[in-house]
Amino acid sequence: MLGGTRAQSSAELPTPPSLDITEVTHHSCQINWKALGDKNIKYTIQRRKDDTIENVYSGFHNETLASDLESTTGYYFRIKIEFDGKEGSKESEWVKICTTKPPVGVGDLNKAIKRDDAVKLRTILTIEKNVNLDTVDELGFSPLMAAAAYNAAECLDCLLEYDPDLDLQNPSGKTALMLACQSGHEEIAIRLMDEGAGVEGGDGSTPLHWAVDSNSVSIVKRLIEYDCDVNALDANSKWTPIVRLASVTGAPDVAKALIDAGADLSITDDEGKTPLMQATINNNAKLVQVLLENGADPDFQNNLGRSARDMAIAFDKNLVVAQFNAVK
């Protein structure tokens, strides 16, 4: 039955809608379908390559982007419908698409860039007049991103002569500057910032969020000099750079650089966790010491009413407990 009435069996399911597959590129395609009348119908888009079937999307919307596809490759897609929470389903026929070749020159450019072969790079750019530097390869790297990630300084100089988009984002939302910062490539990062690369971020995170992964105090300080916000919230994780640091790498010297620049130790994530709580969970006694010395509250409670001190005791983090006892 349609019109919002929950059906009892798959026999009552309507015919699955047809798939409209458009915008097929070398690594993705857009898939749309017409929503059926029953709000309880869940849609699952399945992808088949060779003998492997995997779900691309499952939910209640009527569109999705299938990404991470291989170039010049055939794929089959179909839609499966089912009543949410009920057994049984119906599937459409498979629809075949073929991905395209990568944009001319991008793959060759990135191969040269990974070797920092500026001579080869310049040769390609001279011959291939229509190469688009603002596209990405199958791994999600534009030429500028490849230069940043692989520390290809000579190739970076060559690319900048062609005025690429400094703030282009790859499918995961990272810019060339973010990749340079994450990899610890300070000179590349400085050059990009000098050329005007944005420090405010792309996917909600900022280059500073990724710089903490490199454990490079110098890169962190450079970003701060370029006015990167030390308390910016990642739109997805709701982490500030110092919360990310406490959660991922935990380098005390990087934490001190952030704190000296004004990092707020009281900002919490969606669960109410502070940097001190993350450091406690990770049993990072040295980072805990730095945070306590700079005013972090061991008795501040998260959304569940538990403090960092509570966590240290509950999880037998004895080194951290000792740090807390020292500031009683």
Please name every residue paired with 47 in a beta bridge, in sequence order, or none if there are none: 54, 77
CATH number at residue 27: 2.60.40.10
pLDDT of residue 172: 86
| In-domain check, residue 149 | yes
Q: Digits of tens for pLDDT over the chain (328 positions)?
A: 334 444 446 668 899 999 999 999 999 999 999 999 888 999 999 999 988 999 999 999 999 999 999 999 999 999 999 998 888 899 999 999 999 987 667 888 999 999 999 999 999 999 888 889 999 998 899 999 999 999 999 999 999 999 999 999 998 889 999 999 999 999 999 999 999 999 986 557 899 999 999 999 999 999 999 999 999 999 888 899 999 999 999 999 999 999 999 999 999 998 999 999 999 999 999 999 999 999 999 999 999 999 999 999 999 999 999 999 988 6
pLDDT of residue 10: 64
| In-domain check, residue 7 | no
Both 113 and 247 in one domain: the answer is: yes
Both 288 and 245 in one domain: the answer is: no
Cβ atoms of 81 and 16 closer than 8 Å: yes
Both 171 and 281 in one domain: the answer is: no
pLDDT of residue 7: 43
CATH number at residue 167: 1.25.40.20
* Torsion sign (Cα): 73, 78, 84, 89: negative
* Final residue before a domain boundary, out of 269, 292, 311: 269
Both 161 and 47 in one domain: the answer is: no
Both 299 and 212 in one domain: the answer is: no
Both 93 and 122 in one domain: the answer is: no
pLDDT of residue 283: 95
| In-domain check, residue 152 | yes
Question: Angle, to 10 degrees, between the axis of helix 153-160 and the axis of helix 106-114?
Answer: 140
* Final residue before a domain boundary, out of 98, 125, 149: 98
pLDDT of residue 202: 57
Range of the domain at 200: 106-269
Distance, CA of 154 to CA of 113 (rounded, Å): 9
Distance, CA of 298 to CA of 301 (rounded, Å): 9
| In-domain check, residue 4 | no
pTM for the structure as a whole: 0.67
Both 125 and 33 in one domain: the answer is: no
Both 120 and 194 in one domain: the answer is: yes
The encoded tokens of residue 190 equal 């400085």
Longest CA pairwise span in the chain (Å): 70
Both 153 and 231 in one domain: the answer is: yes
Both 156 and 126 in one domain: the answer is: yes
What backbone torsions phi and psi does residue 307 show, to the nearest 5 degrees? -100, 170
| In-domain check, residue 5 | no
| In-domain check, residue 312 | yes
Cβ atoms of 145 and 182 closer than 8 Å: no
* Final residue before a domain boundary, out of 77, 98, 119: 98
Both 139 and 219 in one domain: the answer is: yes
How many separate domains does the chain show?
A: 3
**Alpha carbon separation from 133 to 42, 83, 98, 172, 280 (Å, rounded):** 40, 46, 24, 18, 45
Both 150 and 246 in one domain: the answer is: yes
